[in-house]
């Protein structure tokens, strides 16, 4: 994976995934606030040209973009002028293309115009992050499409290199050396246990993480990770819960936030 550079100065990265569902079902998941919240981060979206798109990554990190093109159920474009501090605007294009066998191809392209390589690292970092979230999108559409979804996204600074922080976080979850298929049962004081299995383990240039598919306290997905986020060493815990028990499961948000901060004391979390 690398940044595509064009003579015009346009630089871009592209990631795609095949997911189950009709274009209309997939569009709901990638182009509405509740749909995006169900697999990415808590999001508000006003679906029209000029509408606002706001994504809350936790830890006070909120991105704000404006929709510039809106063509349901196949394409929309949003422009973010604050993503790269001191840098050029970033345009993000989402497309949904019907494929065979009742599936669709979801494609995301991030692009900007620049005469230097100063922002290539941020584009590449975003490119590396999408495959993990796209696994959650595929899981959601395959098993929970249309169900009620509740989510939270927690983040604290780690104060240590990503590999060391991941070791602390994984051990606290009972996963000293996580492997796909491994059972997990994690506890935070006062919170209901997270019970499930490791679906995948991620090692990317920015750090490490895992995808846990859980059945308790509600069916869903949990994403623990330790990453270098634009020069800041951060640990995160994201949870997506589906169905009738989703709200009760997500109600433990503050308990898991306190648990995460206690793992990395003295870092402002």
**Does residue 1 have a pLDDT over 80?**
no
**Does residue 58 have a pLDDT over 80?**
no
Q: Where are the alpha helices (DSSP H) in 86-241?
A: 120-143, 162-172
**Least confident piece of the model among 3-12, 28-37, 48-57, 113-122:** 113-122
Q: Are 11 and 113 in contact (CB under 8 A)?
A: yes
Question: 220-254, pLDDT tens digit by residue?
Answer: 999 999 998 767 899 999 999 999 999 999 999 99
Q: For position 60, what pLDDT does the model report?
A: 77
- Distance separating alpha carbons of residues 52 and 67, to the nearest angstrom: 6
Q: For position 269, what pLDDT does the model report?
A: 41
Please report, in angstroms and rounded to a whole number, the separation of the first and last CA atoms in the chain.
Answer: 33
The structural domains of the chain, ordered by start, are 4-143 (3.30.530.20), 149-263 (3.30.530.20)
Question: 148-202, pLDDT tens digit by residue?
Answer: 999 999 999 998 999 999 999 999 999 988 999 999 999 999 999 999 999 999 9
**Does residue 268 have a pLDDT over 60?**
no
Q: What percent of the chain has pLDDT over 90?
A: 74
Q: Are 235 and 263 in contact (CB under 8 A)?
A: yes
Per-residue pLDDT band at 128 (split at 50, 70, 90) = confident
- Distance separating alpha carbons of residues 30 and 19, to the nearest angstrom: 11
Per-residue pLDDT band at 266 (split at 50, 70, 90) = low
**Greatest extent of the chain over all pairs of C-alpha atoms, in Å:** 57
């Amino acid at each position: 994976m690398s940044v595509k550079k064009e003579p015009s100065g346009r630089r871009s990265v592209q990631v795609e995934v095949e997911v189950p569902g009709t274009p209309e079902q997939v569009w709901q998941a990638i182009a509405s606030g509740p749909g995006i919240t169900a697999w990415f981060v808590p999001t508000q979206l006003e679906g029209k040209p000029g509408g606002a798109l706001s994504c809350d990554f936790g830890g006070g990190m909120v991105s704000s973009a404006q929709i510039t093109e809106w063509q349901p159920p196949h394409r929309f474009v949003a422009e973010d002028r604050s993503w790269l501090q001191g840098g050029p605007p970033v345009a993000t294009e989402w497309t949904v293309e019907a494929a065979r066998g009742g599936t669709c191809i979801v494609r995301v392209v991030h692009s900007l115009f620049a005469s230097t390589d100063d922002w290539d690292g941020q584009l590449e970092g975003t490119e590396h992050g999408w495959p993990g979230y796209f696994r959650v999108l595929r899981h959601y559409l395959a098993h929970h499409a249309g169900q009620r979804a509740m989510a939270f996204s927690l983040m604290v600074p780690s104060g240590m290199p990503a590999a060391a922080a991941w070791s602390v976080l994984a051990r606290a979850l009972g996963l000293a050396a996580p492997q796909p298929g491994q059972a997990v049962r994690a506890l935070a004081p006062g919170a209901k246990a997270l019970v499930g299995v490791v679906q995948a383990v991620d090692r990317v240039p920015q750090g490490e993480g895992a995808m846990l598919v859980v059945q308790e306290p509600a069916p869903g997905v949990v994403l623990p990770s330790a990453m270098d986020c634009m020069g800041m060493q951060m640990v995160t815990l994201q949870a997506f819960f589906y169905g009738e028990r989703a709200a009760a499961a997500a109600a433990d948000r503050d308990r898991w936030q306190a648990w995460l901060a206690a793992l990395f004391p003295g870092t402002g979390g």
